[in-house]
Amino acid sequence: MNAANDDHRLTTALRDRLDDVHPDLDRLVAVATRQGARIRRRNRLAVWVGSVAGVAAVAAAVAVGSSWTGADPSGAPHRPGIANGPSSSPATSMPSPSAVTTAPRVRSHMAPPIETSPVSLDRPGWSCAPPADEKFTCSNGDHSVLITWRPAADRPSWGGDPDKTADFISDVHGDFFVTVDAIPGTPSSDAVLLAQALTWTKVRPAARSAKISVASSTDWGAGVSSRMDCPTASCAVHPYSRSAALFQ
Amino acid sequence: MSTRAGDDEAADFEAFVRASGTQLYRTAYLLCGDHHLAEDLTQNTYAKVFARWRRIARADNPVGYARTTLINTYLSHRRLRRSAETPTDTSADARYPGRAAGPSDDELADRHDLIAALRMLGPLDRTVLVARFWEDRSVSETATDLGLSEAAVRQRSHRALARLRPHVHSLHEERTNP
């Protein structure tokens, strides 16, 4: 008797037991198509909300820039009695709207990878599986965590819904935030520590497989890739998080 | 034009589900140990696949993507709903139409020993066993799928098999009376 025989027996036993198990494929197609279409609509809405928020941020930046120069687009003084600023005013060092909106777009004709995560983990002893369904697992052999990235527009609902819990819920970075969950058998503290070691990369929500290099991005501060540093526990750990107590 | 493209896409997706649905559903059943949960898991998986179908259809291995999605969804679902999970009522499961087609009581009992034993394992151990012995994935492929090291896959597999064996009547018989 050897292990290979046992393995073969288990495979055979599983096949024997499932031989006559058949799903209702018609129903599967109908329900999956309907649910999938709903997910598409929701994603489109999230992208739209994100775009509107981005445009609003740019408009706000332009407004602030205009007020610093004291001039409106027509060239007339914005507020009578306030002098226009000199050419070396802070506004000249602000990223212009065109610098933000014309960030290089990657339009490759090659088939892109299916999904690119906006976060990655580089921690000795830990390795991560390829992402699928906007999530991926990382493990060190004994312990595993599940990392899920979500549209920034969904972040508010993760701030107060007891049904939407995670061991770690990040702040919004660009268009996404992540939740990190310890897979049963893994301490929650591992999930929190790993979450704090995640590295962020800018990924466009509309084409999640394409990375953008951003020279100056106002909502990223540190640039293309930044550590998800959180100076205080309250900014990253959800009140419903099982790990919140670790920081108290 | 776009309607026609949408029709083509839906037809492609339907063909994909019909080709891969049975295998994926059986995998889901082994992971969940319950037909209703397995149906939910499979539907959720295919819904997610449909949402990205344009990109997934161009990929080399859409079935592999669907399988990874299924496993991720399962592990995620387990985390959220583990407090609500209760052992499946054998009689209720036997009433499910998918199995009403024929197995005798003995066959059902024999089947349930293995399914019930699988349910005693932790979700990751169960996933490793299903990947290795149902999906015929190699140690290396399983390790990649689950983000584990190969040593961890071997260790989990060995441990899970050892836990499974005493509870599975037919395996035990085969082992002791080859």
Please list every residue in chain B whose beta carbon sits closer than 8 Å to the beta carbon of residue A25.
17-18, 21-22
Q: A33-78: per-residue pLDDT in tens?
A: 999 988 888 888 777 777 777 777 777 777 776 665 554 444 444 4
Beta-carbon contacts below 8 Å between A and B: 187
- Please state whether the predicted TM-score (pTM) of the whole model is above 0.80: no
Mean pLDDT to the nearest integer, B94-108: 47
Chain B residue with Cα closest to A24: B98
Q: What percent of chain B has pLDDT over 90?
A: 37
Question: What is the structure's pLDDT at B66?
Answer: 92
Q: A62 vs B140, which has greater pLDDT?
A: B140
Q: Is the pLDDT at A10 greater than 60, yes or no?
A: yes
Q: B93 vs B156, which has greater pLDDT?
A: B156
Chain A residue with Cα closest to B143: A129
Query: Among B120, B162, B159, which residue's Cα sits nearest to residue B171?
Result: B162
Q: Is the pLDDT at A195 greater than 50, yes or no?
A: yes
Q: Is the pLDDT at A144 greater than 90, yes or no?
A: no
Q: Which of B47, B56, B72 sits opposite A32 (nearest CB)?
A: B47
Q: Is the pLDDT at B147 greater than 70, yes or no?
A: yes
Question: What is the structure's pLDDT at A100?
Answer: 38
* B14 CA: distance to closest CA in chain A (Å): 6
Best probe of the B interface among A183, A186, A240, A243, by most B CBs < 10 A, is: A183
B20 Cβ contact partners less than 8 Å away, ≥ 6 residues apart: B62, B63, B66
Confidence of residue A129 (pLDDT cuts 50, 70, 90): confident
Question: What is the structure's pLDDT at A207?
Answer: 41
Q: What is the ipTM of this complex?
A: 0.73
Confidence of residue A224 (pLDDT cuts 50, 70, 90): very low
Q: What is the DSSP letter of A106?
A: -
Query: Among B31, B16, B5, which residue's Cα sits nearest to residue B125?
Result: B31
CB atoms within 10 A of CB A138: 24
* B144 CA: distance to closest CA in chain A (Å): 5
* A7 CA: distance to closest CA in chain B (Å): 7
Least confident of A177-181, B13-17, B38-42, B88-92: B88-92
Question: What is the structure's pLDDT at B29?
Answer: 93
Please list every residue in chain B whose beta carbon sits closer than 8 Å to the beta carbon of residue A122.
none
Please list every residue in chain A whose beta carbon sits closer than 8 Å to the beta carbon of residue B51.
36-37, 39-40, 43
Q: Is the pLDDT at B100 greater than 60, yes or no?
A: no
Confidence of residue B85 (pLDDT cuts 50, 70, 90): very low
Q: B146 vs A209, which has greater pLDDT?
A: B146
Cα B104 from Cα A229, distance rounded (Å): 60
Please list every residue in chain B whose beta carbon sits closer than 8 Å to the beta carbon of residue A133.
45, 48, 68-69, 72-73
Question: What is the structure's pLDDT at A30?
Answer: 93
Please list every residue in chain A whose beta carbon sits closer than 8 Å to the beta carbon of residue B10.
33
Q: Is the pLDDT at B5 greater than 60, yes or no?
A: yes
Mean pLDDT to the nearest integer, A103-118: 50
Q: Is the pLDDT at B48 greater than 60, yes or no?
A: yes
- Dig out the tokens for A170 from the structure: 């990040």
Question: What is the structure's pLDDT at B169?
Answer: 55
